Chains A and B, each alone.
Chain A
Amino acid sequence: EVQLVESGGGLVQPGGSLRLSCAASGFIFSDHYMDWVRQAPGKGLEWVGRIRNKANSYTTEYAASVKGRFTISRDDSKKSVYLQMNSLKIEDTAVYYCTRSMGDWGQGTLVTVSS
């Protein structure tokens, strides 16, 4: 059974940083692209970014709204993917989900950016 468990969410001030983690199990992690998606309170879904697998050189893609501020990385030995979020803005407040190639999803972790 595929499991994705996010952690690292919490309250952070505007301009601050936070690192989210997503621990994967139940599949061959190193084979798959991994994505982050977010959902602001009461709003729709927004794709944040993707990291490809080793075969595709771990290259990344980002939404324009986060490019230059957020960085996705992965550690295949730990079956984990990370979202480093810098220069956080109030509008980054959302539940952040990690997904396996937009198929399987974790339960999400809430990030609140507020002073």
Chain B
Amino acid sequence: DIQVTQSPSSLSASVGDRVTITCRASQGIRNDLTWYQQKPGKAPKRLIYAAFSLQSGVPSRFSGSTSGTEFTLTISSLQPEDFATYYCLQHNSYPLTFGGGTKVDIK
């Protein structure tokens, strides 16, 4: 199974901050990685697919990048509605596996 290690598990940030979240896959997964945002009591929402393609309707302050087996989600200027938990998912091979999540809260 491919392991996905997500870091940090939590972070505190202020509105306007630049935030980066990283997922590292245990082996090569090409660009088969998706980023989700989840707010309490709600279903996850896809933000980024294929490592760096922005989902329609998602603000451009969200971006994805990759270097080898390391994938990064960047929020360029954190907004109040961005406080949430973020997950990555590898879908290169079965079983599909999620990162452990990153909770972004208000500093």
Q: Mark A residues whose CB is within 8 Å of B.
A: 35, 44-47, 50, 61-64, 97, 102-108
Q: B43 is contacted by which of A47, A62, A64, A108 (Cβ under 8 Å)?
A: A108
Contacts of B49 in A (CB 8 A): 103
**Cβ–Cβ contact B43 & A44, under 8 A:** no
Residues of B within 8 A of A62 (CB): 95
Interchain CA distance A108-B99 in the complex, whole Å: 20
**Are B96 and A102 in contact (CB-based, < 8 A)?**
yes
When C-beta atoms are compared, the residue in chain B nearest to A95 turns out to be B43
Q: List 10 A-B contacts (CB under 8 A).
A: A35-B96, A44-B87, A45-B44, A47-B97, A50-B96, A64-B1, A64-B95, A102-B89, A102-B91, A107-B42
Distance A30 CA – B36 CA, assembled complex (angstroms) = 25
Q: Which residues of A contact B46 (CB under 8 A)?
A: 102-104
**19 extra A-B contacts, CB within 8 A, seeds A44-B100, A45-B89, A45-B101:** A35-B96, A45-B38, A45-B87, A45-B98, A46-B98, A47-B95, A47-B96, A47-B97, A50-B94, A50-B96, A61-B94, A61-B95, A64-B95, A97-B44, A102-B46, A102-B91, A102-B96, A105-B43, A106-B43
B interface bracket (residues with beta carbon within 8 Å of A) = 20 to 34
Is B34 close to A, CB under 8 A? Answer: yes
How many Å lie between the Cα of A46 and that of B101 in the bound state?
11
CA–CA, A47 to B92, complex, Å? 13
